[in-house]
């Protein structure tokens, strides 16, 4: 297989923080975003514009988007992707009002998680995503799509690959430039990655339109990434320090740690554009601020050196 560069989408400021109970001051979040960018990350999911009852931690989303730093980047740093997650056209409008250039829509492959997460059926979630996508595209925004529960749903068990394909193909039709496959529960292992990707490819989905979004509950996320890489996937979502989780996926752990992903590819001579030493410092910094253990093995090892 060919060695090719990998693109990392840092989701720490959104997925990483959304499940943390204690309120994190906005300046700490902005500090995190600034440090991630200084470490070389070129895609940073800033926040989400969702119900503050669903996700109280991110109710400062407008302060994040309107901060002078983010505004300057939105206007001047065209090579930086700064997606904002939105569940409906109301969220999109808030993002548009702040000059955001990219939004992410999210749907579940499975009914139970869809109900728990966004309080509607999969079909209704797809209709909302489609409404967001067409409005966003008409304003010149890029739209990224997430599919949750690709391997399993917290309430209804294993996910059949057909339902993942159904949602992926709908997101492609509505114009998402990339579809991020989310193992929301972090239960999948490489054998399942192979099976799902082979199924999607057999139905005509191109690897170049897919990204991997692996939570690390069972410690398989890095292995899953390597397997997906070998099958042609070149974009992976991760959180510095392994932060992350969704309050509607009980027991699920954080995203795979960005430091670990960078180390994995660096050891294989595959370029990510990220400065690992600086990134390890960011992971250590945010872990201290949140008063929690550093969830990155590579980050902890580098800091201890
Ligand atoms: P709902 O209760 O069905 O609908 O929520 P609603 O229209 O009645 O709205 C409820 C409340 O939210 C109302 O406020 C609205 O005004 C407000 P109230 O009248 O009760 O005071 N509201 C909003 N506020 C701010 N921004 C908005 C917005 N829309 C409505 N855009 C809704 C439906 C979708 C809004 C709600 O369920 C929700 O916000 N869900 C989001 C949950 C979420 O953010 N989950 C985590 C992100 S997904 C994830 O982590 C998975 C991912 O990482 C991939 C993976 O790992 O699989 C992406
Ligand atoms: Mg997630």
Q: Quote ipTM for the complex.
A: 0.99
Q: Distance, CA 27 to ligand 2 centroid (Å)? A: 23
- Give me the catalytic one of 61, 120, 176, 246: 246
Nearest CA to ligand 1 atom 23: 51
Cβ neighbours for 191, distance < 8 A, ≥ 6 positions apart = none
Nearest alpha carbon, ligand 1 atom 3: 119
The DSSP output letter for 209 is: G
Give per-residue pLDDT as tens, 152-163: 999 999 999 999
Tokens of 74: 């939105």
Pocket test for ligand 1, best of 50, 100, 132, 247 (most atoms within 8 A of CB): 50
pLDDT higher than threshold 70 for residue 16: yes
Give the side-chain half-sphere CA count within 13 A for 277: 1
Q: What is the pLDDT of residues 247-266, one digit of tens each?
A: 888 889 999 999 999 999 99
Mean pLDDT of 215-231: 97
**Mean of all residue pLDDT scores within the chain:** 96
Tell me if 108 CB under 6 Å of ligand 1. no
Integer Cα distance of 119 and 103 in angstroms: 20
CB 83 within 8 A of CB 45: yes
Name the band, by pLDDT with cuts 50, 70 and 90, for residue 2: very low
Q: Give the pLDDT of residue 1.
A: 42
Q: Quote the pLDDT of residue 250.
A: 87
Nearest to 46, CA basis, from 96, 88, 102, 93: 102
Q: State mean pLDDT over 173-194.
A: 98
3-state helix vs strand vs coil in the chain, percent to 5 = 50, 15, 35
Burial classification of residue 207, based on how many CB atoms lie within 10 Å of its CB (0-12 exposed, 13-18 middle, 19 or more buried): middle
| 54 Cβ below 6 A of ligand 1 | yes
Q: How many residues does this entry show for the chain?
A: 305
List beta partners, residue 181: 147, 212
Contacts of 77 (CB under 8 A, 6+ apart): none
Phi first, then psi, for residue 214 (nearest 5°) are: -110, 120
Query: Is the pLDDT score of 79 beyond 90?
Result: yes
Predicted confidence (pLDDT) at residue 244 exceeds the cutoff of 90: no
Give catalytic status of residue 246 as yes or no.
yes
Sign for the pseudo-dihedral over CA of 7, 92, 50, 30: positive
Residues linked to residue 148 through DSSP beta bridges, in sequence order? 108
Is any atom of ligand 1 closer than 6 Å to the C-beta of 106?
A: yes
Instruction: Indicate if ligand 1 lies below 6 Å from the C-beta of 110.
Output: no
pLDDT tens for 41-76 read 999 999 999 999 999 999 999 999 999 999 999 999
Q: What is the pLDDT of residue 87?
A: 98
pLDDT at site 245: 76
**Ligand 1 close to Cβ of residue 287 (< 6 A):** no
Tell which residue, 88, 29, 102, has the closest CA to residue 54: 88
Measured CA to CA, the distance from residue 291 to residue 28 in angstroms comes to: 13
- Per the CB < 8 A criterion, the answer to whether 109 and 149 are in contact is yes
Determine the pLDDT at residue 4. 61
Pocket flag, ligand 1, residue 208 (CB < 6 Å): no
Closest ligand 1 atom number to CA of residue 55: 44
Which of 11, 45, 51 is the pocket-test mutation for ligand 1 (most atoms within 8 Å of CB)? Answer: 51
- Per DSSP, the three-state class of 41 is coil
3-state secondary structure 164-195: HHHHHHHHHHCCCCEEEEEECCCCCCHHHHHH
Give, using CA atoms, the residue closest to atom 34 of ligand 1.
118
State the Cα–Cα distance between residues 49 and 285, nearest whole angstrom: 26
Integer Rg of the chain from CA: 18
Least Cα distance to 278 among 30, 25, 34, 24 occurs for 34
Q: Which of 37, 10, 32 is nearest to 261 (CA)?
A: 10
Which two structure tokens, joined as six digits, stand for 263?
A: 């180390």
CB 298 within 8 A of CB 32: no
Percentage of the chain lying above the pLDDT 90 cut = 95
pLDDT for 3 beyond 60: no
Residue 146 or 246, more confident:
146
- The region of weakest confidence among 2-16, 186-200, 284-298 is 2-16
For 254, the enclosing helix (H) or strand (E) is none
């Amino acid at each position: 297989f060919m060695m090719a560069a990998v693109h990392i989408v840092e989701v720490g400021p959104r997925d990483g923080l959304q499940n943390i109970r204690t309120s994190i001051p906005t300046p700490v979040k902005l500090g995190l975003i600034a440090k991630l960018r200084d470490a070389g990350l070129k895609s940073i999911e800033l926040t989400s514009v969702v119900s503050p009852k669903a996700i109280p931690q991110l109710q400062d989303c407008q302060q994040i988007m309107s901060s002078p730093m983010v505004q300057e980047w939105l206007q001047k740093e065209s090579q930086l992707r700064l997606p904002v997650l939105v569940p409906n056209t109301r969220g999109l409008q808030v993002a548009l009002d702040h000059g955001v250039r990219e939004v992410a829509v999210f749907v579940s492959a499975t009914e139970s998680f869809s109900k728990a997460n966004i309080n509607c059926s999969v079909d209704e979630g797809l209709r909302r995503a489609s409404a967001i996508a067409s409005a966003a595209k008409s304003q010149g925004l890029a739209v990224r799509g997430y599919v949750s529960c690709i391997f399993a749903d917290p309430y209804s068990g294993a996910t059949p690959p057909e339902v993942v394909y159904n949602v992926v193909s709908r997101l492609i039709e509505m114009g998402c430039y990339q579809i991020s496959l989310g193992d929301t529960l972090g239960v999948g292992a490489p054998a399942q990655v192979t099976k799902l990707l082979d199924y999607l490819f057999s139905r005509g989905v191109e690897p170049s339109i897919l990204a991997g979004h692996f939570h690390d509950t069972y410690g398989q996320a890095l292995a899953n990434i390597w397997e997906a890489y070998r099958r042609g996937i070149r974009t992976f979502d991760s959180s510095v320090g392994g932060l992350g989780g969704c309050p509607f996926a009980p027991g699920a752990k954080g995203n795979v740690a960005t430091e670990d992903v960078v180390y994995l590819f660096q050891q294989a001579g595959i370029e990510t554009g990220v400065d690992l030493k600086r990134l390890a410092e960011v992971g250590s910094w945010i872990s201290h601020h949140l008063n929690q253990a550093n969830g990155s093995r590579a980050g902890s090892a580098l800091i201890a050196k």
